[in-house]
Amino acid sequence: MSGKNIFGNIQPPVKCNIIDQNKSFDQWPIYQTSQLIQNFVYGLKYSDFLSYFSNPIISKEQHDVFFKTSGLNVNYRHVQGLNLIFNMLKIHMKV
């Protein structure tokens, strides 16, 4: 189905008023979760960091274990987003 069938015969450039604004970046759940995790991890001694990250944390079950043992209470639990956060931490900490 073409755009013409859905929207009528709209010719570019199309103009419209902005009627809503998304949340600011610091209100996104993935950002807030990343900040909590980073604050926790960067507060650890390196040996404690290694005890958390010596094995990959890549599954929902492993994420759950991390949050339980760290005591962090987060609402964002999307596996792919958390994997990005954990992988970037390991890169920055050179593990």
Domain spans, the chain: 25-92
What is the model's pLDDT at position 10? Answer: 63
Q: What is the pLDDT of residues 41-54, one digit of tens each?
A: 989 998 898 888 88
pLDDT at residue 15, as a whole number: 66
Q: Is 91 helix (H, G, I), strand (E, B) or coil?
A: helix
Element containing residue 37 per DSSP (H, E)? helix 29-42
Tokens read off for 19: 């009627």
* Calpha distance 82→78 (Å, rounded): 6
Specify whether the CB–CB gap between 83 and 58 falls below 8 A. Answer: yes
pTM recorded for the entire structure: 0.72
Question: Based on C-alpha coordinates, what's the Rg of the chain?
Answer: 20
The pLDDT value given to residue 94: 75
